[in-house]
Structure 1
Amino acid sequence: MTILSNINRLLMLMLIAESKTMTPCDGMINECDYMSHRPALESDAAEIMSNLRSLSVESLCGSVKLSLPMVRKLQQMIYEFPNKASGSKAMNAFMGVVFKAFSYQTLGEASRVRTNGRVRIISSLYGWLKPDDIIKSYRFDFTTPLAPDGKTFSSYWRDSVTKLLLKEIEKQDCHDVLNLLPGDAARCIDWKVINSRVKVWKADFKEVHPGAVMRTPNAGRLKTLRGRLLRQIINEDIMSPEQLVSIIGDGYIGPDSIDVSGNILFHSIADN
């Protein structure tokens, strides 16, 4: 492929969700770095955290699905949020199964650049994140009703995240979006609006069991496969859904073909 044709290739934007498990995000950050890597909706996140400062541990316990010790940690995170002298880049901050399987820290420089350009993270607190945005630690989920007016985070972010996704699609001239989101994170986006602008694809995984029985992998396995697929797409510079046909990955194989339904079915051999 010539250099010119590479320039004219259209990007496939990929969406993943935050993980509940995070690092402390306590690395030292200078003001210049923070301002150049500030999340797009950080001011909204700051307002949310500011509103929560008045809540007692008991009040927080009534709204979040966390143990009492974890709620106390969450309260500390709320009070620490305004301190922008410490933090972490988003892709290094999340430590869940998808992120471990993706293993951003072990990617080469070119793959890291591609990640920053093509991957976006949907967040319960921040709404929309680039991989190199600098963030603070938090512990919410998308169904938590602690957004303004008692809304859940998925409901609160729907308009803003949809607009930012549309803006990214226009900026990068994308024709395809690969949805690697779980259901609760996907509710942060108005898919009817997005589908009117681009083709949305969803990666689906099925395990092959003895007797040719097909089953959906358990939650942990499904997250691992999503992370591995994302890593392969980035490392191999895969730019379109058509390039996923018949690919062989770490624990899965791609479909023989893709159709207009938007679902791309990958087969995985079940663990014994």
Structure 2
Amino acid sequence: MLIVISPAKRLDWDARDVAMTEPEFLEDANRLARTMRNLTLGDLRGLMDLSDDLARLNRDRFRAFAEAPEADMLRPAALCFAGDTYQGLQAGSFTKAQMGQAQERLRILSGLYGVLRPLDGIQPYRLEMGSRLHTRRGQSLYDYWRDQPAKALKRQAGAIGTQTLVNCASQEYFGAVDEKRLGLDVLTPVFLEDDGKTAKTISFFAKRARGTMARWLITSGVTEPEGITGFDLDGYRHDAERSAPGKPAFTRPRQAGA
């Protein structure tokens, strides 16, 4: 199975002694970075609803963005994103063999880079996929990327001999994937917190669970779609009654304070 996750807004920029690979859509990323470099602080604040400090940080990042960066300007994608999903993924604890599996089977959807492998070297940035950034290709990043993510994922799925994509990304990011062009069977796990009366998705927990699911798929050796129902970490269990076609549900007792 091929797996996709979202990036994170928060970064961990500690140096890593890891050999990095080059992103597939680097030229497209450089074009976007040039567009971003021309935006004012006010533009950045409005584009991503940022505070003054975050707008200034990201203006400075794009001003420093290099089209041919030195290695010390880069970090491997799966190791430098530091949000909730990545707390579940724990890519820093992968063995060499597990990282090899992740490099083959895990993809990160990115507003700036399109589609990333875990070891693809990236520069620091923030550019959310839902941003209404005007470019020559259209009025949003969905217009900019068009069908490129879908075509790339379909090709990469074919390279590992699978017809199944497990979508552990957010709606915002998976919205950049044209499912008709993708042509794969998509499984989107749903994570629910049950208080004994109702079961609902709580964003904070669901984000982390999606990362944990991605890690489990990589480390458990599960390769067939029906195997996903065996996921049983962090208190979650497969819930056949709440599942729907293409959307396997996993439920656990509501956490204290949730």
**Aligned partners of 1:14 and 1:118 also within 8 Å:** yes
Shift of 1:219: 0.9
Please name the residue that 1:128 is paired with. Answer: 115
Change (3 A) 1:265 1:156: same
Deviation at 1:152, TM superposition (A): 1.7
1:29 CA displacement = 9.6
Cα deviation code 1:93-117 (max 9, x no counterpart): 1001000111011122221111111
Distance 1:119 1:147 in 2: 29
Distance in 2 between residues matched to 1:72 and 1:267, nearest whole Å: 41
**Does the CA-based 8 Å contact 1:178-1:201 persist in structure 2?**
yes
- 1:80 equivalenced with 2:69 (yes/no): no
- Offset at 1:173? 1.9
Counterpart-to-counterpart distance in 2, 1:214 and 1:155: 36
CA distance in 2, matches of 1:21, 1:183: 19
CA deviations on 1:47-93 (whole Å, 9 max, x unpaired) are 11112323322333332311111111111111111161111000111
* TM-score relative to the length of structure 1: 0.85
Determine if contact 1:63/1:145 at 8 Å carries over to the other structure: yes
- For the pair 1:146 / 2:133, whether they are aligned, the reply is yes
Q: Structure 2 length as normaliser, TM-score?
A: 0.89
Q: 2-side partners of 1:68 and 1:260: how far apart?
A: 43
Structure 1 unaligned blocks of 5 or more: 1-11
- Residue 196 of structure 2 is matched in structure 1 by 210
Cα distance in 2 for partners of 1:97, 1:192 equals: 30
The separation in 2 between residues aligned to 1:249 and 1:266, in whole angstroms, is 10
Q: Which residue of 2 aligns with 1:6?
A: none
1: CA distance between counterparts of 2:90 and 2:13? 18
Query: Equivalent residues in 2 for 1:93-242 (5 A)?
Result: 93-149=80-136, 151-194=139-182, 197-211=183-197, 213-216=198-201, 218-242=202-226
Equivalent residue number for residue 271 of structure 1: 255
- Identify the match of residue 12 of structure 2 among 23, 43, 51: 23
Return closer, same or farther for 1:105/1:123 CA change in 2, 3 Å cut-off.
same
CA RMSD in angstroms comes to: 2.3
Partner residue in 2 for 1:7: none
Q: Does the 8 Å contact 1:206/1:214 carry over to 2? A: yes
Moved more, 81-90 or 252-261: 252-261
**Which amino acid in 2 is paired with 1:171?**
A
1:13 and 2:5 matched? no
Q: Which ranges of structure 2 fall in alignment gaps of 5 or more residues?
A: none
Q: 1:28 to 1:46 in 2, by over 3 A?
A: farther
Q: Is the 8 A contact 1:154 1:184 kept in 2?
A: no
Question: Is the contact between residue 23 and residue 137 of structure 1 (CA under 8 Å) also seen in structure 2?
Answer: no
Q: Which amino acid aligns with 2:116?
A: L
Which deviates more from structure 2 when the two are superposed, residues 102-111 or residues 56-65? 56-65
3-state secondary structure, aligned to 2:188:
strand
Could you list the runs of 4 or more consecutive aligned residues of structure 1 that deviate by over 6 angstroms after TM superposition? 257-260
One-letter amino acid of the structure 2 residue matched with residue 91 of structure 1: A
1:116 partner amino acid:
Q
Q: How many equivalent pairs are there? A: 252
- Looking at structure 1, the residues matched to 120 and 51 of structure 2 have their Cα atoms a distance apart, in angstroms, of 29
Alpha-carbon distance between aligned partners in 1 of 2:82 and 2:57, rounded to the nearest angstrom:
17
For 1:127 and 1:106, the matched residues in 2 are separated by 25
- Alpha-carbon distance in structure 2 between the residues aligned to 1:137 and 1:29: 17
Contact 1:208-1:270 within 8 A present in 2 as well: yes
Q: Percent identity, please.
A: 23
Could you say what secondary structure the match of 1:146 adopts? Answer: coil
